[in-house]
Amino acid sequence: MRAQPRSGIVRMERKWGIAFALPAIIGFVVFVFGPMVASLVFSLTDWSIGSDFRFVGLDNYRQMTTGDPLFSKSLYVTLYYTIGSVPLCMLAAFLVAMLLNQKVKALPIFRTIYYLPVLVPSIANSMLWLWLFNPDFGLFNSALRSVGLPGSQWIYSETAAIPSLILMSSWGVGNAAVIFLAGLQGVPRHLYEAVEVDGGGALRKFWHVTLPSMTPTIFFNVIMGMIGTLQVFDQAYVMTNGGPNNATLFYIFYLYRKAFAETEMAYASAMAWVLFLLIMALTALVFRSSRFWVYYEGGNKP
């Protein structure tokens, strides 16, 4: 039997490769790219559910900046939450990872306990924290009163609502902690030995070895945490309904309200594109700054 030419084998492999990739390609086009293009078209109209399309150009975007005070409010609330939540979660996750990196008994059990909140559905988490934040019989106020301190209104106060939700965000740091733990276990041991030879202690090991070696992992977690907090929704939907006095009117919750409560699909589509551009801009800014503080084993990368 004559062997098949190499070019024929390559063409056959290419065809099979395309055939196996086709479901993913079709899924991306139908469920991601197609809706993105449609939302861009919708954002240039005044379409509401049940009405006709009418092209209005950039009017929806102008209304956001000039005629909708709740848009700027939702943007401020979301950025406030992001600025508070991301550093707190990074710090908490890093500390948890440092603890889980120690050689102690029953370590798998501790790792499971710290990761368990991530496995709990977000709605169940929100219901749990509703009880914790209850100003009358919640656990937090009960603990404060037991030591003689005044209680707080927590999410029921306009000034304390966002700080309360920032505190709540530290509950689900399991994913970031696992990534930090993987990074800690990848730090070369010979670097610690070099510090010991030079007479350095635990603090010098952390400052000169652990922290620089972990900057790529910190960079990744900051990017993912920032993208996640800019899209926070469940807490406002389940716990506060955007209140009190729009103090927790997160951007995605306001977008949801515009799209499905007020049926202003065109305006909601424009808001989605603004959020997309905002996330792109902030991500690019963090990438741009990484050259000054992210260190790689083979040298800094631009």
- pLDDT tens for 56-98 read 989 999 999 888 999 999 999 999 999 999 999 999 999 999 9
Q: Specify the pLDDT at position 1.
A: 46
Q: Specify the pLDDT at position 300.
A: 54
One domain, residues 4 and 103: no
Mean pLDDT of 21-32: 94
Left (φ > 0), alpha (ψ -120 to 50) or beta: where does 286 sit? alpha
The dihedral sign for the CA sequence 282, 56, 250, 126: negative
Residue 241 lies in a domain: yes
One domain, residues 239 and 95: yes
Exposed e or buried b per residue across 124-151, where buried means at least 16 C-beta atoms within 10 angstroms of its C-beta: ebbeebbebbbeeebebbeeeeeeeeee
For residue 45, give the nearest of 32, 33, 54, 36 by alpha carbon: 54
Q: Please write the tens of the pLDDT for every residue from 121-169.
A: 889 999 999 999 999 989 999 999 999 989 899 999 999 999 999 999 9
The domain total for the chain is 2
The dihedral sign for the CA sequence 91, 93, 99, 101: negative
**Local structure of residue 261 (DSSP, 8 states):** I
Residue 234 lies in a domain: yes
To which residue do tokens 């790689």 refer?
Answer: 296
Residue 171 lies in a domain: yes
One domain, residues 18 and 98: no
Contacts of residue 146, defined as CB under 8 A and 6 or more positions apart, other chains included, come to none
Residue 302 lies in a domain: no
Burial (CB count within 10 angstroms: exposed 0-12, middle 13-18, buried 19+), residue 69: exposed
One domain, residues 248 and 140: yes
Which amino acid, 213? S
One domain, residues 132 and 227: yes
One domain, residues 124 and 252: yes
For residue 98, give the nearest of 3, 175, 210 by alpha carbon: 210
3-state secondary structure of 244: coil
215 within 8 A of 293, measured Cβ to Cβ: yes
Mean pLDDT of 40-65: 89
pTM comes to 0.90
> The domain spanning residue 193 has which CATH number?
1.10.3720.10
Contacts of residue 191, defined as CB under 8 A and 6 or more positions apart, other chains included, come to 209, 213
Q: Range of 4's domain?
A: 1-42
Which amino acid, 286? V
Q: Please write the tens of the pLDDT for every residue from 202-212.
A: 888 889 899 99
Q: Does residue 302 carry a pLDDT above 60?
A: no
Residue 112 lies in a domain: yes
One domain, residues 65 and 38: no
Least confident of 66-70, 106-110, 156-160, 178-182: 106-110
Kindly indicate the confidence band of residue 5, based on its pLDDT and cuts at 50, 70 and 90.
Answer: low
One domain, residues 32 and 128: no
One domain, residues 11 and 127: no
Residue 49 lies in a domain: no
- As a residue count, the chain comes to 302
- Which residues share a beta bridge with 45? 55
